[in-house]
Amino acid sequence: MATRYTKDHEWIRLDGDVATVGISEHAQHALGDIVYVELPEIGTQVEQGGEAAVVESVKAASDVYAPATGEVVAVNESLDGAPATINEDAEGKGWFFRLRLSSPEQLNDLMSEEQYKKFLKTLE
């Protein structure tokens, strides 16, 4: 499945029944240099739109919301020692956590990459 996006600038990419979540290129650029990430515990249940992680930059701290409901099954532990990975590759190696989705159909309500790019233009 293609990557889907939220209005809060998270992305989610489904692979089987597990989805990888992170923040968009736009979000990391807006935050500036990322200095710290607080990831959820494995086994945590998150609700769509609920707080799932925290990212701190030299400018601000921001909540990262779950794009879909599910159970956290993995976290990107490499971010602990290298949060700048998010600045370098926000939609790849800078992923935050993986979810086993309880309602994969929720992804249908999120934006495609094309829709997200149009949405970003409305913010300029």
Give me the CATH number covering residue 58. Answer: 2.40.50.100
For the stretch 77-105, what's the b/e string if a residue is b when 16 or more beta carbons lie within 10 angstroms of its beta carbon?
Answer: eebeeebebbbeebbeebbbbbbebeeee
Structural domains of the chain, count:
1
Across residues 25-51, what is the average pLDDT?
97
Task: Check residue 77 and give its pLDDT.
Answer: 96
- Asked if pLDDT for residue 17 goes beyond 90, the answer is no
Backbone angles phi, psi at 9, to 5 degrees: 75, 30
- Asked if pLDDT for residue 90 goes beyond 80, the answer is yes
Please report the DSSP string for 16-74 in residue order.
TTEEEEEE-HHHHHHH-SEEEEEPPPTT-EE-TTSEEEEEEESS-EEEEE-SS-EEEEE
Q: What percent of the chain has pLDDT over 70?
A: 99
Whole-model pTM? 0.96
Domain that holds residue 17: 4-121
